[in-house]
A and B are shown apart, each in its own frame.
Chain A
Amino acid sequence: MVLLLISGPHAQGTAPTSPLTLITRDGRRPVPTTILNGQEFIALDDLASLFQLTVREDTLAGGVTISYKGRTIVASADQAMASVNGRVVTLPAPVARVGRRLLVPVDFIPRALAPIYDSPIDLRRASRLLIVGTVRVARVAVRLDAVGPPTRAIVEITPALLVSTGYDAGRVLVRIETDALDAAPSPAPAGLIDQIQTGTPATTIAFALNPRSGTPRVSTTTTTESTRVTIEIPLAAQSQDTNTAPAPQPAQPPSPAAPVPTPSSAPALPGAAAARLQTLVIDAGHGGDDVGVRGVKGTLEKQITLDVARKLKMLIETRLGVRVVMTRDDDRAIAPDERDAIANNSKADLFLSLHANGAPSATVKGTEVYYLRLDRAGEDARRSVEATELVLPVVGGATRPIDVIRWDLAQAAHIDASSRFASMLEEELEKHGPMGPRPLQQAPMRVLSGANMPAALVEIAYLTNADQEQNVQSGDFQMTLVQGIYDAIVRFRAYLEASAAP
C-alpha cells in the first residue's frame, strides 16, 4: 500500500542518456537505469539477477527485504533510508515502483549493497561504470596539445600500464592492457584528427586521421604514476622524417627519388592472402611460477617477454595482416611441449620465442638470437626427412607426399629456414640496439626442437645488467626491439614468397 502511494505520482520514468556499464572479470554489459523525479533508479530485479540477491516485498513493515548470503538489507518504502545488516544508511530517495517493478536509487549499490557483498563494488558516476570484483580499470584522459599541424594529442593513462600502439589504415590505435577504461569525455577532434573514439574495441582509443596526414609519430613514456602516449601527426608533405614510427622496408635499397611515406604497411595488406607467411606464433617465455631471470631491481623476465610479445602482436596484426597466435597472453606457466603444440596445431608458418637473458657477470649486455642446433639424433632425423618421403593416397585418386619425423625433433626439417630467419633477426636487431657478445648462436634450445616450422628465439636483453634492466621496462625500448623483430619478419616473409615462387 505504502509503496503504491510513493510510486503514484511518477509511474513513468525516462531513460538516461546512456545505461550503466557493469564491468566484471568476465566482461562487460549494459545495465539500464531510469530517471524518476531527477533521480536515477535501477530495477531491483535487475540487481537481484546480477548480484544473486533475494528480494521480498514486506508490506507490513512498509519496505523491501533484500538478502544475500544470510545478510539482509531492509529498504524503506517511505523514507530515504535502508537498514544494512542493522546499520542505517541514507539514500537519495526511497524505494519506488514503476508498473510491477521495484526500483531503488542507483546510490543504493555503493551505500547498501556494497557493504554486504563479497566482492568490491565501485560505482563511477562520471564514466558510468559499475565495477564489481578486482578489475583493473585505467583512468584515461585524452587532450589535444596542439591543433597544428603538426597536431599533437596526448593520452594520459593512470596508473602506469602496458600500452601498445599501432598505425593502420589512417588510424592510430592505442591499446591499454587493462580490463576496462574509465575515460573522461574526449575533446572535439581538431587539426589532422578527424575522430577520437574511446572504448571501441573495449580498451582501445582510436584516432582517425585526416587524409592530409603524414605518418604519425607515436611515443610512450612511463613514470611510476602514469603512462603517457604522445601522438604527433605531421602534414603528408612533412612525412619524410626518418624517425616516424613505421620503418621503411629494409630489404629495399634506398631510392634516390622522393621517399614514399608509408612503404611497408600499405602494399602489405592486399598481398597478405597470397603470402606464405599467414600465421605467426609468438611465444612469451616463462610465466606463472616460472618467473625466468630476476633482475637486480626485481624485474621479472616473464613480464618483459609478455609485454614485448603483446606489442609485437599488435604491430604485426595491424601492419602485416598476418594472423598472430600467442602461446600465452597472461601470467601462466606452460610446458615447452605445449608451446610447440600450440604452434603446430595453429599450422603456423613461423615461430618466435621471446626471452630475456642472464649472465654470471653484470657487465654482459645486448640482444642475442638463437636457432636450434641438432645433436646426432637430430641430424639423423634431418637426413631421414631428406631421404625418405612417404607418399599417401588422398581423396580423388591422387597422392600426397608426407614427411615423417619424430615429433620431438620436428624442427630438424626446418633448420635451414630457421638459420635464415635467425640471421635476419640478428641483422635487423643490430640496427636498433646493442647486440650481445654472441649475437647469433646455434644451441640445443628445448622450445625450438618440437616446432614444425622455421623457428628462432630472441634473448632481448640482459636483466642481469642494471642499465638494460631499466631500459627494458620502457615502452620506447620495447618498441625499438619490436620494430627490429618486425623488420626481420617482413624480410623473412619476402624470403618465403620468393622461395615459393615457381
Chain B
Amino acid sequence: MTSRVAWLTRVTRKRWLQVGAVVVIFAVAAWGANRLLERMVVPQTVQQAAPTPTAPAASVPHIIATLYYGTSDGQALAAVKREVPLGDGPRAQGRQILESELEPAPEPFHSLIPPGTMLRAFYITDRGDAFVDLSPEVSTMHPGGSTNELLTVYAIVNTVTANLSSVERVQILIGGKQADTLAGHVDLRRPFERDTALVRETKATE
C-alpha cells in the first residue's frame, strides 16, 4: 500500500516536472518572439516620435499616438502626436494612451481632463465597445459649461477611437458606474462614436 502511494507520488512529480519544462520552453520562446517583433517595429516608431520632446525614458519601446487637447484659444480640439509606451495588445495599449492623455497637456494646449483624474479601468468588448472608467475627479473637479464638457468627452472618445482601430464606440464610466453627465450637460448614458466636428487642424508649431 505504502509503496503504491510512493509510486503515485513519484509519477505525479515526474508529470509536473514535464509540464513545468514545457511551460518554461514556451515562455522563453514567447519572450524571444516578442524581442524580435520589438526590434522590427520599434525603431521605426521612435524615429517618428522624435519631434515631440516630452518622450519618457528611452529604454521602453514607444509608439506614436494621437492625443486630443484643447487648442490654445480654447475653442476646439487639437490632434497632437505624442510618444506613448508600447502596450501589449489593444487593451494594454489603450490604457497607455489614456494614461498619457490624463497627463498635463504640452504647451500651448489645454488639458481637458481635470487634474487628479485617474484611469480606473479600460476594456474593450468583442463588439468594439470600449469602456473608459475614470475616477470621480473627472466629474467633481470638472469646471463645467457645455463647451468644456463637450471638449472633455470628445477628447477622450477621439483619443481612444483614433488610436485603436478595433474600437468603434466609447462609453465613459465614472467610479465604475454608468454616469448621467460629467457636469450636467453631455449625456454619458450611451456610448459615443468618434466625432471630429470639434477638431480643428492645428499648425505643426502650435
Contact = CB atoms under 8 A, between A and B. Distances in A.
A424 B73 CA distance: 28
A459 B186 contact: no
A426 to B, nearest CB: 14
A447 B188 CA distance: 12
Interface string A434-457: 001110000111110100000001
B70 interface: yes
A437 B186 contact: no
A445 B110 contact: no
B176 interface: no
B44 interface: no
A336 B74 contact: no
A284 to B, nearest CB: 12
A294 B144 CA distance: 8
Contacts of B146: 355, 357, 368, 370, 443, 445, 457, 459
A358 interface: yes
B112 interface: yes
B184 A464 contact: no
Interface in B140-158: 143-148, 150-151
The bracket for how many chain A residues form the interface is 35 or more
B99 interface: no
A463 B74 contact: no
B112 A360 contact: yes
Nearest to B111: A360
A431 to B, nearest CB: 22
A361 B110 contact: yes
B185 A445 contact: yes
B18 to A, nearest CB: 53
Contacts of A228: none
A361 B72 contact: yes
Contacts of B193: 375-376
B137 interface: no
Interface in B20-55: none
Interface in A245-291: 285-286, 290
Interface in A285-318: 285-286, 290, 292-294, 301
A363 B190 contact: no
Interface in A333-366: 335-336, 355-364
Contacts of B103: none
Contacts of A362: 74
A446 B147 contact: no
Interface in A202-233: none
B96 interface: no
Contacts of A437: 75-76
A462 interface: yes
A377 interface: yes
Contacts of B147: 357-359, 364, 368, 436, 459, 462
Contacts of A355: 145-146, 185
Contacts of A464: 143, 145
Nearest to A442: B197
Contact of A446 (B74, B186, B192): B186
A308 B73 CA distance: 28
B167 to A, nearest CB: 15
Interface string B109-120: 011100000000
Interface of B: 70, 72-76, 110-112, 143-148, 150-151, 180-181, 183-193
26 contacts: A290-B184, A335-B180, A336-B180, A357-B146, A358-B147, A359-B145, A360-B112, A360-B148, A361-B73, A361-B75, A362-B74, A363-B73, A364-B73, A364-B75, A364-B147, A375-B190, A436-B147, A443-B146, A443-B186, A444-B186, A444-B192, A445-B186, A445-B187, A462-B145, A462-B147, A464-B145
Given A293-B148, A357-B146, A358-B145, 15 more contacts: A286-B184, A294-B144, A359-B147, A359-B151, A360-B110, A361-B74, A364-B74, A368-B147, A377-B190, A408-B189, A437-B76, A444-B190, A446-B186, A446-B189, A447-B185
